[in-house]
Chain A
């Protein structure tokens, strides 16, 4: 198997798609059954062809020796905006309903290679938490030389956190061209705006009609800035459940408001992002069939959580959700530097009583199910994308590192890793 080093990934030429690869040896966590010790995975055309304990190696297959390693599906980041270039939201408005965050992805962003080097092969990219309605998310496959679109318009992102109103100011007389002079300026206002938009869409009215010109600068070319039919359609799809709705909601009051909003507008299933206080809301989350995207819980200021032992509390949320049977996954949010990926968070959660099996599930199959790519990724089964990570030891231990990573059948050796070629 031709190996490509991440460090010089820009020079990587793709392996021929028709190549058959046999990953031989190693303990395979397929996430679709018990682990297979000393197993074999056959990969053809970038997809898993066969997996098991007794798989024959066809003639001409290139052998990748994985003896002594642990093989898992590639990890999945269930919510990030780290690979976006200069901005992960449109700052000039609070509601950019048909904005596609896909347009903001910078294919050469170093986060992509950093996350890939720690075993992450797919990620849902979302607008950040600044606008009330940030726009449409996208699921990408990670490659050292860029990204691959796995699922376009995967969900609609809204935000109920205090970040939405942050920086907005009230005008004190006179006209200003600065877009920061706008509503909402309070948490109540954020919810007022969100309700208003859903209500308008339900009634088929152009978004923002009632606010008129005061909403943005009077000279803003409203005719060109809005293509109303598209925005109404997106909100209606979200209300009907045809488009997943993801709400950034950290505090208990945020999460309560998100669930309330979902009930009021008949939104069948809502996904909560961030969720610092989800552990106080287990009963409601379960009753409403909500899914939870945790993180990033590094560096969360203590004032965001009610308990004094904030850090330990935050890391224990995953274990609480698992116990309550609420589907969850991990996300890296805007974190782009050290421990940028999702594995570090899962390790913390394991330290705070989450079972390693449950953590690995949340990093792979669980995340794939929540972000809607379960038919293509998240497990090692025939027909799935050959997205794999080979680990030097147990995945949920700090000292373990990815030795190599495979993305759609293409193998990359990580810095410090070595191939079994």
Chain B
């Protein structure tokens, strides 16, 4: 069941707060899809927050923020890497999305609020990750930001073959030059430089695929050489060998989703990153992957707070939409998932998804 929250709503239930704790008998006032007040039901009613509002009572249910995945190919054409050139910062990955795709509809039902639709890791500069708010229906998805983060890759094993570059040092050399040139050229002089500039100047994050310790080191050196960039390391299989260096660089990490086949190293990674205070998120195409990741990270010693943040607040921040998504908090969009139990437990079922913001545009003919 999906509902669009139009008008003024007074929603009651158990609220999952950003620190992972639960506010029983909580309530939200939602105006035109934006959370304007939250607290206990008693307090909010006393403060008059229920006035003029349509009441939606979900007492006994758990209300969680919609999930966010920072790196996804949800509903995209199968080819993730354009083979034309390895330096294509002009590419916008949101343009690969098929609005009619079933994957997109399934993701909406599973509570995915925002996906960072991304190019693959086959190109050094594959293009821009777009922040896509997953809508309720084929044409209701909304591009929040077509240039939310720049996608880069140092994973030579994934590069499109028989083309420049074919090695890690070759990729490093291109990436370093690209950032240097983007900082150097005046606006309008070079379309490629213009396309890279927001990430080179740190206005947007750069998601660099770096899996081995050597690749992570290379990403950190690029960060050190160009002080302005906001580095996010994607993949990071060897993160546990580089925890201090990642923390000292102020970098965040995007991990592969965890599943039953994950390596011991991958299962240890969330708790290890949390121990150093390194923000991390899980990449996922489908919300179920996020729920598996949360459950397995919990099983391997990660706190409730860090697990929740990894699927909501942190990815929203990495995509530059942290002011609108990623938490049940005043001022955020009311994209909410109603569960019949603890949202961080794999056994809890989704009862409904409540969605504020853009109303449904039109139905499939």
Residue numbers of A with Cβ under 8 A of B are: 85-93, 96, 98-108, 127, 135, 145-146, 177-180, 216-217, 219-221, 223-227
A225 and B156 within 8 A (CB): no
| CB neighbors of A among B209-227 (8 A) | 212-215, 217-218, 221
**Known pairs A219-B85, A224-B87; A91 contacts B190 (CB<8 A):** no
In the bound complex, residues from chain B placing their C-beta under 8 Å from that of A85 are 156, 168, 212, 214-215
Which of B163, B172, B215 touches A217 (beta carbons < 8 Å)? Answer: B163
B167 touches A86 (CB 8 A): yes
Q: Give Cα A135 to B162, complex, Å.
A: 20
Q: Tell me the complex Cα distance, A271–B241, Å.
A: 36
Neighbouring A residues of B301 by C-beta, 8 Å: none
Q: Given known contacts A91-B166, A96-B170, A145-B241, what 17 new A-B pairs fall within 8 Å (CB)?
A: A85-B214, A86-B156, A86-B157, A89-B169, A90-B173, A92-B163, A92-B170, A99-B170, A100-B172, A108-B212, A108-B214, A177-B162, A177-B163, A178-B162, A179-B162, A224-B87, A227-B180
9 contacts between A and B (CB under 8 A): A85-B214, A87-B156, A90-B170, A96-B169, A100-B169, A107-B217, A135-B169, A217-B164, A227-B180
Per CB-CB distance, the 10 closest pairs between chain A and chain B, nearest first, are A90-B170, A92-B164, A87-B167, A91-B166, A103-B169, A106-B214, A103-B172, A90-B167, A107-B213, A104-B169
Q: Which of B166, B190, B214, B221 meets A90, CB within 8 Å? A: B166
A119 to chain B, nearest CB (A): 24
A87 to B170, alpha carbons, bound, how many Å?
A: 10
Question: Is B98's beta carbon under 8 Å from chain A?
Answer: no
Query: Per a CB cutoff under 8 Å, which of A98, A106, A107 touches B173?
Result: A98
Cα distance A100–B177 when bound, in Å? 13
Mark each residue of chain B from 227 to 250: 1 if its CB lies under 8 Å from any CB of chain A, else 0: 000000000001001000000000
- Alpha-carbon distance A83/B355, docked complex (angstroms): 52
- Report whether B169 and A101 are in contact in the complex, using a CB–CB cutoff of 8 Å: yes
CB closest chain-B residue, reference A230: B177
Q: How far is the CB of B49 from chain A (nearest CB, A)?
A: 55
A75 to B318, CA, bound (A): 47
Chain B residues in contact with chain A, CB under 8 A?
83-85, 87, 156-157, 162-170, 172-174, 177-178, 180-181, 190, 192, 212-215, 217-218, 221, 238, 241
Give bound CA distance, A341 to B190, whole Å: 48
Contacts of B221 in A (CB 8 A): 103
Asked if residues A108 and B167 are in contact (CB atoms below 8 Å), the reply is: no
**If A99-B173, A108-B241, A227-B180 touch, does A93 touch B164 (CB 8 Å cutoff)?**
yes
Q: How far is the CB of B219 from chain A (nearest CB, A)?
A: 10
**In the complex, A216 Cα to B192 Cα: how many Å?**
19
Chain A: minimal CB distance from B165 (Å): 6
Cross-interface CB contact of A92 among B166, B168, B190, cutoff 8 Å: B166
| Contacting pair A146 B213 (CB below 8 A) | yes
A103-B221, A106-B213, A219-B85 known; A227+B166 contact, CB < 8 A:
no
A87 near B166: Cβ-Cβ < 8 Å: yes
* Residue of A with least CB distance to B196: A224
What are the residues of chain B within 8 A of A225 when measuring CB–CB? Answer: 87, 164, 174, 177
Please, how many angstroms separate the alpha-carbon atoms of A225 and B164 in the complex?
Answer: 9
**B162 touching A180, Cβ below 8 Å:** yes
Q: CB-CB < 8 A to A226: which residues of B?
A: 177
Which of A101, A177, A221: most chain B Cβ within 10 A?
Answer: A221
A224 touches B170 (CB 8 A): no
Cα A100 to Cα B225 in complex, Å, equals 14
Residues of A within 8 A of B156 (CB): 85-87
Q: How distant is the Cα of A227 from the Cα of B180 in the complex, in angstroms?
A: 9
Measured CA separation A227–B182 after assembly (Å): 12
Distance (Å) between the CB of B155 and the closest chain A CB?
Answer: 9
Task: Determine the distance from Cα of A92 to Cα of B217 in the docked complex, in whole angstroms.
Answer: 23
B107 to chain A, nearest CB (A): 34
Report the separation of the CA atoms of residues A170 and B87 in the bound assembly, to the nearest whole angstrom. 26
Inter-chain CA distance A91–B169, complex, in Å, is: 10
Q: What's the nearest-Cβ distance from chain B to residue A307, in Å?
A: 36
Minimum CB distance partner of A226 in chain B: B177
Q: How far is the CB of A356 from chain B (nearest CB, A)?
A: 37
Verify B164–A106 contact, CB threshold 8 A: no
User: B178 is contacted by which of A91, A92, A145, A224 (Cβ under 8 Å)?
Assistant: A224
Known interface pairs A99-B173, A103-B172, A227-B177. Does A92 touch B213 (Cβ–Cβ under 8 Å)? Answer: no
Residues of A within 8 A of B213 (CB): 106-108, 146
Closest B-chain residue to A220, C-beta based? B164
From A86, A96, A145, A224, residue with most partner B Cβ within 10 Å? A224
Known: A100-B172, A104-B167, A108-B238. A220 touches B180 (CB 8 A): no
Instruction: Return the chain A residue nearest B160 by Cβ.
Output: A177
Quote the shortest CB–CB distance from A379 to chain B (angstroms). 30
Q: A104 and B164 in contact (CB under 8 A), knowing A87-B156, A96-B170, A221-B192?
A: no
* Bound Cα distance A88, B170 (Å): 10
**Alpha-carbon gap, A226 to B180, bound state (A):** 11
Q: How far is the CA of A92 from the CA of B173 in the complex (A)?
A: 13
B-chain residues with CB within 8 Å of residue A90 when the two chains form the complex? 164-167, 169-170, 173
A122 to chain B, nearest CB (A): 19
Residue contact A179 to B163, C-beta cutoff 8 Å:
yes
- Complex CA distance for A188 and B1, rounded to whole angstroms: 73
Contacts of B170 in A (CB 8 A): 87, 90-93, 96, 99
Measured CB to CB, the closest approach of chain A to B302, in angstroms, equals 22
Tell me the complex Cα distance, A146–B156, Å.
Answer: 20
Complex contact A224–B177 (CB within 8 A): yes
CB pair A103–B164 under 8 Å, yes or no, is no
Q: Which residues of A have CB within 8 Å of B241?
A: 107-108, 145-146
Bound together, the chains give a CA A389 to CA B299 distance in angstroms of: 45
Q: A64–B82 Cα gap in the complex (Å)?
A: 59
| Set of chain B residues within 8 Å of A146, measured between Cβ atoms | 213, 241
A109 to chain B, nearest CB (A): 8
Q: How far is the CB of A231 from chain B (nearest CB, A)?
A: 10
Contacts of B164 in A (CB 8 A): 90, 92-93, 179, 216-217, 220, 225
Q: How far is the CA of A108 from the CA of B213 in the complex (A)?
A: 7
Known: A86-B156, A107-B241, A227-B181. A221 touches B87 (CB 8 A): yes
CB B243 to nearest CB in A, in angstroms, measures 13
Task: A87 to B167: give the CA distance in the assembly, Å.
Answer: 6
